[in-house]
Amino acid sequence: MARRQHLTLTFILVLGVFFTLSYFFSGPTRSVLLPKLQNDVELPLKDAPRSEFAADLNAMPAGLLQGESIAPKLENATLKAELGHATWKFLHTMMARFPDKPTKEDRMALETFMHLFARLYPCGQCAEHFRKLLAQYPPQTSSRNAAAGWLCFAHNIVNERVHKPLFDCENIGDFYDCGCGDKDKKEGVEGVAGIDDVRVIPDGKQIRICWLWLDRPVHRKSNHVLDHVLTSGRGGCAFRAALPELHLSFSPPRATTNDNETLRLTTLNQPIARLLTTLKELSKNRHNGVCYRHGSLQMSPDGIHVDMDRLKKGEVNLGTSIMAVTFKDGVILGADSRTTTGAYIANRVTDKLTRVHDTIWCCRSGSAADTQAVADIVQYQLGLFAMTNGKPPMTQTAASIFQEICYANKDRLSAGLIIAGWDERFGGQVYSIPLGGSLHKQSYAIGGSGSTYIYGYCDANWQEGMEKDDAVNFVKGALREAIKWDGSSGGVIRMVVLTKEGADRHLYLPDTDYAVRHE
């Protein structure tokens, strides 16, 4: 009986502790929550409490828009390319949606955004280049056309620096179609609005042609204004410093202008063509030596001249067709011999097959300077390897050294390489290293600009374990097709056959349709 009483008291004590804890740790009851829930539901959205934060532009630091890049350097080349493509599309779409008649606040917002964007862009080295571009060519914000034209101009400067094709700014709206489907889309972006006034001022034997660049006023201290060109009466062309196709030089403006000699370019979507026509007519009517230029050609009173400085821009590029194949007893490397500098053929008989060891050679495409430097370094390293170990290096070792150098310097080098060789352990081997520095072992490899045209030929005619003569004919036929269709490939065909006996050089000339081997 006493035991039951103890159990009963224990049970009552446990219940008391449970309800006490529930009381202290429980939240408000449902009856308390219900009015609050009802109040939340009935509260209109427009009466909802708003944030008290408001941007005070006057309180911003004076140097906010200046300074170095915030993001570090971006090493991933693939990510950098994808980021750049998406960013340019975003910027062009934003300019296409910019008001045609912006307010002062709209213009300030766009200018501020572009300068902040140049600091915050995730690619540090890209942001640095963009800030320099903004310093030289500040954003133009007077209208939608001005903004779109300025951005296209800036985009072309970047494309020219990285050796990419230039955009036709008259059709940039079609290329970056935002798909808006409204009135703004129907109106479109009418291309570059860069020239809205050309004044012709007679000055003795000279004519002064003044350009008003976008919305910026003309005055002597504006380092961003590309606004004047002084043309001489003695046949020299004075267009030098830079619209995408027309090049200008700075000259102070004149205060007086005869109204009947002021030419208005009202069709802003074709400023370049209209200006070329205007200058050509001036040259005919006044006989004063006014000239104009388009691309690499200059028209002047004494005839047509080729601008070699413009035509031969950039570093020497191999612009090439290279390949290497394995066959029964070894490997064969082959290449054309044309080297270009821009559109100019710098060398018709370049040797693009480079020896790095006795039975290890490489084919070079890309920058001539880059590929020659890399090949020299690898040749030196393989020589040290052979002396230290007392035996020749393997082809795989050479390919790994090439790959290490190319990958470590992928943002600085323009080098596409094919490494092929024969060694006692693995026989004939072919490795390719495209731009970016990855390494791929293949039965045969093709590279360079001419390779685009011979993928089908190689797939149709390639056979594993070919005899030497069949492999030579296969390489010769592929390179002949590449030379036929690729404007950057040409000249003679060079080959080297690598077997356990060593290296055997071949040379085929175009005057015999590459049929006869020459020593």
Residues with a known catalytic role: 320
Q: What is the three-class DSSP state of 180?
A: coil
Structure tokens at 391: 């035996």
Nearest to 414 by CA among 385, 447, 371: 371
Q: Could you identify the residue written with the tokens 């090493």?
A: 75
Terminal Cα-to-Cα distance of the chain (whole angstroms): 123
Q: Could you identify the residue written with the tokens 């970056």?
A: 176
Query: How many residues does the structure list for the chain?
Result: 519
Under a CB-based contact definition with an 8 Å cutoff, are residues 353 and 494 in contact?
A: yes
C-alpha 430: how far from chain center: 30
Bridge partners, 493 (sequence order): 508
Q: What is the three-class DSSP state of 425?
A: coil
Q: What's the sign of the alpha-carbon dihedral 312, 315, 316, 322?
A: negative
Give CA–CA dist 78/85, Å, rounded.
11
Would you tell me how many other CB atoms lie within 10 Å of the CB of residue 506? 17
Question: What b-and-e string marks burial along 416-434, b requiring 16 or more CB atoms within 10 Å of the CB?
Answer: bbbbbbbbeeebbbbbbbb
Give CA–CA dist 241/179, Å, rounded.
36
The values of phi and psi at residue 462, to 5°, are -70, 140
Give CA–CA dist 255/252, Å, rounded.
10
Work out the burial of residue 312: count CB atoms within 10 Å of its CB; fewer than 13 is exposed, 13-18 middle, 19 or more buried.
Answer: middle
Structure tokens at 73: 């350097």
Structure tokens at 304: 């047509």
Q: Could you identify the residue written with the tokens 């001005």?
A: 146
